[in-house]
Amino acid sequence: MAIRFLKQDQLPAFLGQLAEKARVVAPVKTDGVVQFQPWVSGQDVELDVLLAKQSPKEYVFLQTETYLKFGYEMVKPEAAGGDTAAEEADPVSVDDAAVEVAIPYETVTVEPQNEAPAQVIFGLRPCDARGFVQMDQVFGGYGGFYYDPLYNARREATTLLAVTCREPRSTCFCTAIGGGPAGEEGVDALFTQVDGGFVVEALTEKGEAALAAAGAALTDATDAQIAAAGEVKTAAGAKIDVPFALEGIRDNLHDNIADDRWHDQAMRCISCGTCTYVCPSCYCFSINDELVESTGERYRVWDNCFNPLYTEETSGHNPRAQKSNRFRNRFSHKFWYYPDKYDSLLCSGCGRCIMNCPTRIDIREIVRVMGAPAPAVAAGAASEAPAATGDAPAVAEGKEA
Ligand code: SF4
Ligand code: SF4
């Protein structure tokens, strides 16, 4: 596919043309906070701040989403075939069968909801796009698991136009886990900022279609512009910290499941759930019914695994009643349970959870400590003694969901 160029001053025209065919969502600064919002003509897109406060996942996996409406209705006896006229005239003479059908009964009407407007998300970063790919596996029926029609309809109707990160933050670690500032996973078209504008690469048919829809604002990129984009990508990649090596983390988390150090690590956590809400790949939700008289809605709403009630069962038993268990679950889910099931990680290294945690808990540190061999095992290895399996913490009876 041809590589294009979009002049900086043509960005509003480009988005305007896209907006004629689909909802455009872009990072916009409001009251000092950058958030993804439905874009309207005249609004400035904020690309100098590397990451919006929250990832754009809420435009595909909604914070609150009604997925069916329902209503109860009492059916009158005559609709069921009862002879109500005879009963009213002479209640005593009505036979047993007529009395039986005269009892009113209740019906339930159900109206499924599934709106999936065409939309283009512009200005997300490659780590945000990768987050969608990770959620796709969960909601997309990977390996025969549940296929979610709401999520998939929205995902199908969404085009992701990502922008290469030029100035990664100190909290970024995408390169440590297989991504990068110009990562292409999940990206439909990649925009790289160079002098005077963006070098634009369509990576999928959806991306190509979006660029065709806004073609008037694009020209062919020159060799010099393409080379400049390559330099931006290389330079950005070199700026990103690599805080840990992935190898062995999954096995070490498994071996450390009953390690007391989880308590120490969890001490500062206040179970606020912020890290899960800002994360581009956390997908937990709960389902609720809301009923007013005889009509209601069933909706799902984001939940988070730090919530003390998150795993409470109807019996009252809570398998993760302790904070340290919930804390352990989040990191083990991302680097052990999910990889076991989907053969990839549930983290894209965006660093939002680090930036936004009110008590400065750092996922890189947790993975470095709890994803390393247990101290007794490490000491045994260092002295070249046989593996000190007897001293290693006992593995609890299996991972949590
Ligand atoms: S766990 Fe943290 S670093 Fe990883 S994707 Fe989620 S918010 Fe980003
Ligand atoms: S943001 Fe920090 S304090 Fe809040 S639940 Fe996450 S780790 Fe705990």
- pLDDT of res. 25: 98
Nearest protein CA to atom 8 of ligand 2, as residue: 269
Closest C-alpha among 185, 133, 164 to residue 237: 164
pLDDT in tens, 26-59: 999 999 999 999 999 999 999 999 999 999 999 9
| Greater model confidence, 105 or 304 | 304
- pLDDT of res. 1: 72
Residue 371: partners with Cβ closer than 8 Å, 6 or more residues away? 244, 248, 249, 252, 253, 256, 335
The ranges assigned to domains in the chain are 3-61+117-238, 66-112, 249-297+305-382
- pLDDT of res. 385: 42
Q: Is a pLDDT exceeding 50 seen at residue 17? A: yes
- pLDDT of res. 115: 84
User: What mean pLDDT, rounded, does the chain reach?
Assistant: 89
Pocket of ligand 2 contains residue 272 by CB under 6 Å: yes
pLDDT in tens, 127-147: 999 999 999 999 998 877 789
Q: Is a pLDDT exceeding 80 seen at residue 171? A: yes
pLDDT in tens, 388-398: 333 333 334 34
Pocket of ligand 2 contains residue 308 by CB under 6 Å: no
Q: How far is the CA of 200 from the centre of ligand 1 (A)?
A: 27
The answer to whether the beta carbons of residues 346 and 334 sit under 8 Å apart is yes
Q: Is a pLDDT exceeding 50 seen at residue 339? A: yes
Q: How far is the CA of 215 from the centre of ligand 1 (A)?
A: 35
pTM for the predicted model, two decimal places: 0.86
The answer to whether the beta carbons of residues 236 and 166 sit under 8 Å apart is yes
How many Cβ atoms sit within 10 Å of the Cβ of residue 149? 12
Q: Is a pLDDT exceeding 50 seen at residue 401? A: no
Q: What percent of the chain has pLDDT over 70?
A: 87
Q: Is a pLDDT exceeding 70 seen at residue 163? A: yes
pLDDT in tens, 298-316: 999 999 999 999 999 989 9
pLDDT (mean) for 336-357? 96
- pLDDT of res. 391: 36
